[in-house]
Amino acid sequence: MGSSSPRLPPFSFFILLLEVVTASEFTICAYNAERFDEAKASDFRLLHTVNRIVSRCDICLLQDVVDSKAIETLLESLNRYDSYGYQSVSSESLGNSPDDMQKYVFIYREQNVNVTGKHQYQNKTAFLRAPFAVQFQSEKTAIGSFVLVPLHSDALQAVQEIDRLYDVFEEVTEKWNNTNVMFLGDFHASCAYVTRADKKNIRLITNSSFSWLIGDKVDTTISSDTNCAFDRIVVHGEPFLKTISPFSAKVFNYMKDFKLPKREALQVSNHLPVEVRLKSSALLLQATPLLILAQSFLSAL
C-alpha cells in the first residue's frame, strides 16, 4: 500500500497567506502625544508606552512635541531595544504663543524608508501650526514615493484649517511633482468642531479625489467624556488608494492592547493613534508560491 502524504488542516494555506500579507505591509501611524516633553520622556513608564506605540510603525507622526530632548530620549530608547534603527525628521517649533509651541516629528525605520524632501508651509497665518510636508521613498511599498502632510489643527478653526489643506496639497504636488499625498493628524474633525453642515465648506471632503480612511463615527480618544473622530487619515488619488491594504485604517487602542489602566493611559495622552498599512512591493513575489501551493491543495481535495 502506498502511503499518503500528511495533509495540512483546512485553510492552513490561507492562514499562511494572511501571515505573509500582514508581515509584508508597511505601517504609517499618527499620534497626538499631548505635550510630549522632557518630563514625559524622563518617566520610564510613560516613555515605555510611547516606545511601544512608535515601534509598531514604519513611520510614526508625533504631534504636540514640545522639545527636542524628548525626541532624543525616545530615539535612544528605540535604538537601544528595537531591532530596527530609527531616525527622525522634525519641523521647527510652530504656534502663536510662547507657552504652546509645538513640533511635528516623523520617526521612521531607516532600513525601510528614506526622506527625499521636506517642506515647511510658509503661509503661517492660515494655520496655527502650519503643515510640515515630508516626501518619503520606500522600496518596501508598492507606491514607492509618497508625501505625508501633518496637521494638528486649532480646534476653534478646524473647518478653515482642514479646508486649507487643499492649498497645501497644490503647493507640495507642484514642488515635487508627486500627487501621492496623505494627510494625517489631529484635525479636530468631529463633534462640535466640525459638524455635518460644515462639510460642504471643506474641499478635502467635497472633492471626490480625497478618501477619508478614518470614519466619522470612530472614537479616537480615551476619555469617557468624549466620543469623537478627531484624528484622521486622508489620501489623495486612486493610485495611492489602491496601494492601501483594505480595511487597515483604524484606531490602535493601546490601552486595551497593553492592558493599561485608563488613569495610566491618560497620563500619556487622551488621544489614540490612528494607523494604516500600505501594500508591499514584494507582496506578490512572496505570495505567488503560496498561491500555487494553495491551488494544488484545493485541487487535491
pLDDT tens-digit readout, 140-161: 999 999 999 999 999 999 999 9
Q: Which strands make up the sheet holding 132-137, listed edge to edge?
A: 114-120, 132-137, 145-150, 181-186, 231-236, 210-212
- CATH topology for 26-279? Deoxyribonuclease I; Chain A (3.60.10)
pTM of the predicted protein model: 0.88
Interstrand relation of 26-36 and 181-186 (parallel, antiparallel or unpaired): unpaired
Between CA 182 and CA 168 the distance in angstroms is 11
The alpha-helical segments, DSSP class H, found in 136-282 are 158-176, 203-206, 238-242, 254-257, 262-268
User: What count of other Cβ atoms lies within 10 Å of the Cβ of residue 61?
Assistant: 31
Between CA 52 and CA 264 the distance in angstroms is 14
- The residues pairing with 117 across neighbouring beta strands, listed in sequence order, are 135
Interstrand relation of 26-36 and 59-65 (parallel, antiparallel or unpaired): parallel
pLDDT tens-digit readout, 2-47: 444 444 455 444 444 444 444 579 999 999 999 999 999 999 999 9
The alpha-helical segments, DSSP class H, found in 177-249 are 203-206, 238-242
pLDDT tens-digit readout, 178-213: 999 999 999 999 999 999 999 999 999 999 999 999
In 3D space, the residue among 69, 62, 68 whose CA is nearest the CA of residue 30 turns out to be 62
